[in-house]
Copies of this chain bind each other. A is one copy, B any other.
Amino acid sequence: MTLINAEVAPEQERLNWGRLLMDGIPYADLTAALERGEDVSWFDHWMKTAADYEKEAQRAVDAGHRHTAGELFVTASLCAQYAQYLWFGEDRAAGQQRKVDLYLKAAPYLDPPAVRFDLPIDDVSVPGYLRVPDGKGPWPCAVLIGGLESTKEESYRFEELLLARGVAIATFDGPGQGEMLAGTAACGDFERYTSRVVDFLIEDSRLDANRLAVVGRSAGGHYALRSASLDSRFVACVSWGGYVNFENWEGRAPLAKESWRYVSKSANMDEARIFVEECLDVRPVLAELRVPTYFQQGALDFVPVSQVETLKKHAINADLTVVVEPAGDHCCHNLGPRPRLEMVDWVADQLRTGGSDQ
């Protein structure tokens, strides 16, 4: 596999301020990344920052400061995530593994804790985490799906919003993502993996099997539409900056294209393009989507806003809530917390039978 020289590619593509900040990277670390010496690579800088946070987190563990330990291990994991984010050097796998290890360290200190699962499928397994609120259940649950360059370790801040509203959360890596990438490339049947997670969740007596939602971000918003169309156990679906079918390949940034090649294990860019255009297309099954569905787009996104019309044309059996933010970029990361709050409130409303969120 040919690796592009990421040092030459525009760092602006990695330094997606809205996304990194909203996911929980401290502003102080973004400025430090910008101001680092010219001889320090993006990857090395963030891996060092991750190690610094890990050290502080361990100190918190030793002092019995559980909350701080959880917070700092998560931050360390996020730093490793963004070290390997859109980074195609040989060291990417090491960054990916650090992210996994650091989140695993954070998991028991989160409130509620994140409990790891590994679910056999074919000859591999689907890795993920489940977080269930304390107290009397059974709880509704949202299954979160990341996108390109996303993994199960990245949604902590968003999870907190759902948990505060009484919704348990499950995250997992699907094909082409995180720990699954080595064994399973991105594919056109992502829903099989989502359904494997659902098989697991409905066996948990703390959860209400009749109140499951799927929430996907970016490409995960595409996978969410596919999963909710083909698994009738979901009662609600959110496509956050997602799409019905992949359009505008030419309009994608260089590292994003390289990433699609990487996660689909395509031999070259032409193959990658054919993959996304042919395999990331839920139009053939979208008439099967029969649950309330929230479709959020930013008008300034590289995902064409015409996807709203595509959705309406094909999702003829679903109750659609379409939100197009006029000033929003991809996933509306640039707009701060408000669009995310609206989304989680919608999810909580769908997973409840009337009333307020308390």
> A53 — which chain B residues lie within 8 A by C-beta?
338
Q: Are B358 and A66 in contact (CB under 8 A)?
A: yes
Q: Are A335 and B28 in contact (CB under 8 A)?
A: yes
Q: Are B28 and A345 in contact (CB under 8 A)?
A: no
Q: Are B28 and A336 in contact (CB under 8 A)?
A: yes
Residue of B nearest to A52 (CB): B338
Chain B nearest Cβ from A139, distance in angstroms: 16
- Which bucket holds chain A's interface residue count? 35 or more
In the complex, identify which listed stretch (A56-64, A149-157, A193-201) lies at the interface while the others stay far away. A56-64
> A356 — which chain B residues lie within 8 A by C-beta?
64-66
A97 at interface by CB-CB < 8 Å? no
> A348 — which chain B residues lie within 8 A by C-beta?
65
Q: Are A345 and B63 in contact (CB under 8 A)?
A: yes
> A71 — which chain B residues lie within 8 A by C-beta?
337, 341
> A26 — which chain B residues lie within 8 A by C-beta?
336-338
Copies of this chain present: 2
Chain A, 1-29, CB within 8 A of any chain B CB: 17-18, 21, 26-29
A285 at interface by CB-CB < 8 Å? no
Q: Are A336 and B60 in contact (CB under 8 A)?
A: no
Interface string of A314-352 (1 = CB under 8 A from B): 000000000000000000001111100110110011000
Q: Are B27 and A345 in contact (CB under 8 A)?
A: no
Residue of B nearest to A165 (CB): B67
Q: List 29 A-B contacts (CB under 8 A).
A: A17-B27, A18-B27, A21-B27, A28-B334, A28-B335, A28-B336, A53-B338, A56-B338, A63-B345, A63-B349, A64-B355, A65-B341, A65-B345, A65-B356, A65-B357, A66-B358, A67-B164, A67-B165, A67-B341, A67-B345, A67-B357, A67-B358, A68-B341, A68-B342, A68-B345, A71-B337, A71-B341, A72-B341, A111-B164
* 10 nearest A-B pairs in the assembled complex, by CB-CB distance: A26-B336, A64-B356, A28-B336, A65-B345, A68-B341, A21-B27, A66-B358, A28-B335, A68-B345, A67-B164
